[in-house]
Structure 1
Amino acid sequence: MPSLEPFGKDIWIADGPVVESAGFAYPTRMAIMRLEDGALFLWSPIALTPELRAAIDVLGEVRFVVTPTCLHYVALPAWRAAYPNATLYAAPGSRTRAKHIAFDADLTDAPPSGWRGQIDQALMHGNAIATEAIFFHRASGTVLFADLLQNFPADWFKGWRSLVARFDRMIGTQAQVPQKFRLAFTNRRAARESLARIQAWPIEKVLMAHGTPITQNGAAFITRAFHWLIRDKA
């Protein structure tokens, strides 16, 4: 049963059930951020349960529901039905990949007026798999990554899946950019420009959908995680 865990000022996280993608099991995690007027911004929603809904409703009114990548959409129909007055934002590619979902608006490099000045955002351009929207919650100093940073426990996968996960850098001492995403950055100049915007934020903590959160020295962690992109001038 998911429960809300504070992660800083006006931000909470909730871990959800495991979902399967391409034969691999992934844990799920969402974040809830409360804006200055009391409204809620939901990032990468997990499976909705009555208990989770009740806990979120205590925090405030759900006004924005955001999928940060076109790969995170399985739980969205339930949230769309539960909060029909909330604005549902699509990451690039979401409308094509999840045609059954009625999105209201699209994420760009510029935050909309609803959360501008409180939550910053940048699209991570140049990747052939997905254009992920990276967010920065100013009040808590937290940057949020959905799939571009991952780290699974050493015993999470079994058999051949464990070998593939290690090769793909899904398993390691720290969260890394998986190999498949590294190779998919076909326009690295565009990716470095996106990363430069992210690095300009005063990052203290790093929250990931598939990895252990980083609670200090977040900016240095991001630099290490993307060192291969920073040094590649191609």
Structure 2
Amino acid sequence: MLTAFGPGIWIADGPDVVAALGFHYPTRMAVIRLADGGLFIWSPTVLTDGLRSAVEALGTVRHLVAPNALHHLFLADWKRAFPGACLHAPPGLRDKRKDLAFDHDLTNTPIPAWAGEIDQVVMRGNAIINEVVFFHTASGTVLFTDLLQHLPADRFSGWRALVAKWDLMTAPEPSVPRKFRLAFIDRRAARAALHHVLSWPAERVLMAHGAPVSEGGQALIRRAFRWLS
């Protein structure tokens, strides 16, 4: 249910979700254990009894983090299960989910609860999403949500396979989907955020939609965002 990915970080894959045009996307979440024993839950997936037990065995859930305004489907379930956890909103999600009482807005500055352990930057300037990218220092892991994807070439069929190929979702290695590239209307802001991401000594890369990468993370990110430089 939970798989160790590095020092203090675990991952779990959830069921597929159906997005626009009937595309089925895989889902993945991460759990980071902070120095005080509290847990940082990134992009929470469907909460099953088994997953809940595995998470509770690691520590106390203190932070529920939606990295962008598209990854919010299961926040309410997690908040009900862990009412003492803080809900953290990326840009745009407060307006989208008025039914949720968020405790904090994610910015370029880590909050004191995880400062020094997890860094972050908002990839701004995109007309579709403004995603918060995180870096877990202890494991050298960068966490991307939708801005970096890598799905198997045979995952889709028919016209969806053609769209996925055009969109670079099924490129030979993790790539920024073409729709998000075209949506960067403020490239100066995006480049500033990318500069911050590339300052991290990244070894590993996690994506919500793609196989985890265990080595060469910084070089991979440089290649994936070469079009933006």
SS in 1 for 2:147: strand
Q: Given the alignment of the two structures, is residue 40 of structure 1 paired with residue 42 of structure 2, yes or no?
A: no
The Cα of 1:98 is off from its aligned counterpart by 2.0
Is residue 120 from structure 1 mapped to residue 119 from structure 2 by the alignment? yes
Match of residue 110 from structure 2: 111
Equivalent position of 2:79 in the other structure: 80
Q: How does 1:123-142 map to 2 (within 5 A)?
A: 123-142=122-141
- Quote the offset at 1:213 in angstroms: 1.2
* Cα drift, residue 105 of structure 1: 1.1
Residue pairs, 1:1-234, within 5 angstroms:
3-22=1-20, 23-230=22-229
Give the AA of the match of 1:109. Answer: N
- Describe the SS at the equivalent of 1:149: coil
Q: Which AA in structure 1 matches 2:100? A: I
- Offset, 1:99: 2.1
Which secondary structure state, in structure 2, belongs to the residue aligned with residue 221 of structure 1? Answer: helix
Structure 1 residue 212: deviation in Å? 1.2
1:101 is displaced (CA, Å) by 2.0
Residue 139 of structure 1: how far off its partner (Å) = 0.4
Shift in Å at residue 95 of structure 1? 1.1
Q: Please tell me the residue identity of whatever aligns with 2:4.
A: P
Contiguous gaps of at least 5 residues in structure 2: none
Aligned residue identity for 1:208: M
State the Cα distance separating 1:158 from its structure 2 match: 1.4
Q: TM-score, normalised by structure 1?
A: 0.96
What is the CA deviation profile of residues 174-216 of structure 1, one whole-angstrom value per residue up to 9, with x for unaligned ones?
0100000000000001100000001001111100000111111
String of CA shifts for 1:1-21, please: whole Å, max 9, x gaps.
xx0000000000000000011
TM-superposed deviation, 1:140: 0.1
2 CA distance for matches of 1:17 and 1:77? 17
Query: Secondary structure at the residue paired with 2:202?
Result: coil
CA displacement, residues 103-143 of structure 1 (integer Å, 9 cap, x when unaligned):
11110000000100000000001111011000000000000
TM-superposed CA distance for 1:155, in Å, is 1.1
Distance 1:158 1:179 in 2: 19
Q: Which amino acid aligns with 1:75?
A: F
Q: TM-score normalised to the size of structure 2?
A: 0.98
Q: Deviations over 1:70-126 (max 9, x none)?
A: 000111110010011100100101112222222111100000001000000000011
What is the CA distance between 1:149 and its match in structure 2? 0.4
The one-letter code of the counterpart of 1:147 is: D
RMSD: 0.7
Distance in 2, matches of 1:151 and 1:103, equals: 31
Aligned partners of 1:97, 1:180: CA distance in 2, in Å? 21
Counterpart residue type for residue 35 of structure 2: E
- The amino acid of 1:8's aligned partner reads G
Code of the residue aligned with 1:199 in structure 2: it is L
Q: Percent identity?
A: 57
